[in-house]
Amino acid sequence: MHKIFLYFCTAFVLASCGKVAQVEESRSVLRMNLIAGLRSLDPAYAGDQSAWWMTAQLFNNLVEFDTALQLQPSLATHWEVMDSGRTYLFHLRRDVYFHPHAAFGLDSTRQVVAEDVRFSFERICDPEVAARGFWIFNGKVQGADSFHDGKSTRVDGFQAVDDSTFLIRLVRPYPAFLARLAMPYGSIVPKEVVKSEGKDFGSRPVGTGPFRFKSWKSGRSLVLLRNHRYWEKDASGRQLPYLDAVQIRFITERLTEFVELCQGRLDFVNGMDKTTRDEFFLLDGSVRPRYSEQFIVRMEPTLNTEFLAILVDTTLPVARNHPLGLKKVRAAINYAINRDELVQHVLNGQGTPAYAGIVPQGMPGFQPSRVHGFTFSPEKAAQNLKEAGYPGGKGLPPLILKSNPAYQAVMEYIQKSLERVGIQVKIDNMDSPTLREQAGKGELNLWRASWMADYPDAENYLGLFHSGNIPPQGANRTRFSNSEYDRLFELHASTLEDSLRFNLQVKMENILLEEAPVVLLYYDKMVRISSKWVQGLETNAMNMLILKRCQKTIL
């Protein structure tokens, strides 16, 4: 039955792909899909990739990342770092205007000034707003914590010096601060519109970005139009963006999405599941010949680490006397998995085996020659099980592995790998929000997890294991706690020199590998498939969506 279904899908896809060349209408409109849906267009609540992608089209920040993940000026023309890294002075552009809105009065728009920056950043710190991004300023900017706690009426560290100059004062030097400002939470929003729209700002947003909001039918479609007053130009002096519009759909099934691409009703897709991946790629990761002439395929490392997380706080009820509390059992699991085979045969080469640390390939400071992770060794897995008191797995109760259906193939491979050394595993799927919620409450022992970089600094990964980030304070859901690790992390966070930071990073990574609160699987690769007529669809190792230089041409 399964083979018949796959044959039917393949035949349908192949027949559909023959119609690609017929599509010529709407060539200045990029048609795309957000398979995960979209909850809000307010950058204060941009908590997932869909929101990051869309807010990046509607808003600008003081700084932004380019395709090489280098920080570039955006609304700020330049900036100065003073007081040994404690003070940042930004000089703003004077030719930036907000998208039209009635709240601006007769002119329907106005120029962006430094007070907009102050309002936008202070809004992220406002407890009544309850923004997801308060953590980018928390403990870093002078007065951010006291404002958030209601002890002051302004954030002292934010100052609009004049209309075109904005100053930020930090509590202490923090080398990753500029990178945090490039996140969606650093988007600049207009006070008048935020106040006018209230809670509806997330469904009727106004920013300064290359595209402006047109319409949103929840669960069906989102339309963005070209911002004709956008300030940025290309190298030849031509105004950006090139596209007239972006049309977004919300198809939730990967196969349907793929068929729509082949029929020419979508211009590109991001990511694939097991079914579509096997249809499109050969085992070695190359594209099947029948698709290679019709599509542009981009498969590159992205800053995302896939792993199994383990609850290591044995004081919690669910972890008390659990075998995963033993370091030897955790090591046995690590040794039992052939990561090369997993990537090659399950993922069709769409990943890199994780034989180093939690910090992924492509991140500054990634040092596989100095950080030696677990290799595949059934012999060492057996030895560690024996030393843990479970020879051959005898006496070891079945482990419950929590995951979600999208990763079923990977989880089944892990299940079979562990069974070969005597570790029985039961896979229990649930939806991702529930899984994260239960892991955050310390109710799970073993679960599938991943971490995609919020900003390109190793601190973003290393912070997952700092004791100060144990929920509800942060995302340390394994509840790993190690005083030496904490000391090194805090030193790393305030050290300005890269070489010293990289050395500290190596020490932290090796502590994590020794204690094994996670089972590292692979460093992910982004997969983007676009029609041949789409040009300039830019991205970077954070899998950002950069559409301002994208254009469509009929070949």
- The pair of structure tokens assigned to 531 is 């029609």
pLDDT of residue 5 exceeding 60: no
Ranges 12-16, 32-36, 185-189, 217-221, most confident = 185-189
CA distances, 385 to each of 218, 267, 396 (Å): 51, 51, 9
Query: CA 513, CA 501: separation in Å to the nearest integer?
Result: 19
Helix (H, G, I), strand (E, B) or coil at 215: strand
Query: CA 19, CA 359: separation in Å to the nearest integer?
Result: 43
403-425: average pLDDT: 96
Nearest alpha carbon to residue 212 among 66, 94, 92, 108? 108
Query: CA 185, CA 131: separation in Å to the nearest integer?
Result: 8
Share of the chain above pLDDT 90, in %: 85
Report the chain's C-alpha Rg in angstroms: 25
Inter-residue contact 77 to 83 (CB < 8 Å): no
> What pLDDT does 277 receive?
84
Q: The pTM is what?
A: 0.88
Query: CA 183, CA 170: separation in Å to the nearest integer?
Result: 18
Which helix (H) or strand (E) covers residue 384, if one does?
A: helix 378-387
Nearest alpha carbon to residue 357 among 109, 523, 188, 532? 523
Q: 79 — phi, psi (to 5°)?
A: -150, 160
> What pLDDT does 23 receive?
37
381-407: average pLDDT: 96
Binning pLDDT at 50, 70 and 90, where does residue 6 land?
A: very low
DSSP-derived secondary structure letter, 210: S
CA distances, 301 to each of 350, 410, 463, 525, 529 (Å): 9, 19, 22, 4, 15
163-185: average pLDDT: 97
- Kindly give the residue spans of alpha helices, DSSP state H, lying in 225-375: 254-262, 274-280, 289-292, 327-335, 339-341
401-405: average pLDDT: 95
Q: 343 — phi, psi (to 5°)?
A: -70, -40
pLDDT of residue 18 exceeding 50: no
Inter-residue contact 529 to 301 (CB < 8 Å): no
> What pLDDT does 27 receive?
59
> What pLDDT does 17 receive?
52
Neighbours of 518 (CB within 10 A): 25
The domains of the chain, with CATH numbers, are 1-35+210-294+532-555 (3.40.190.10), 43-48+60-202 (3.90.76.10), 302-526 (3.10.105.10)
pLDDT of residue 15 exceeding 80: no
CA distances, 67 to each of 71, 302, 539 (Å): 10, 12, 6
Per-residue pLDDT tens digits for 89-135: 999 999 999 999 999 999 899 999 999 999 999 999 999 999 999 99
Cβ-proximal residues to 5 (8 Å cutoff; 6+ apart), any chain: none
CA distances, 439 to each of 319, 432, 453 (Å): 12, 10, 19
Out of 27-31, 191-195, 516-520, which region has the weakest mean confidence (pLDDT)? 27-31
Query: CA 436, CA 444: separation in Å to the nearest integer?
Result: 10
> What pLDDT does 274 receive?
78
Binning pLDDT at 50, 70 and 90, where does residue 554 land?
A: low
pLDDT of residue 24 exceeding 50: no
Bin 171: left if φ > 0, else alpha if -120 < ψ < 50, else beta.
Answer: alpha
Nearest alpha carbon to residue 321 among 230, 389, 418? 389
CA angle 171, 475, 442 (to 5 degrees): 135
Share of the chain above pLDDT 70, in %: 95
- Count of residues for the chain? 555
355-374: average pLDDT: 93
Inter-residue contact 281 to 271 (CB < 8 Å): no
Inter-residue contact 421 to 288 (CB < 8 Å): no
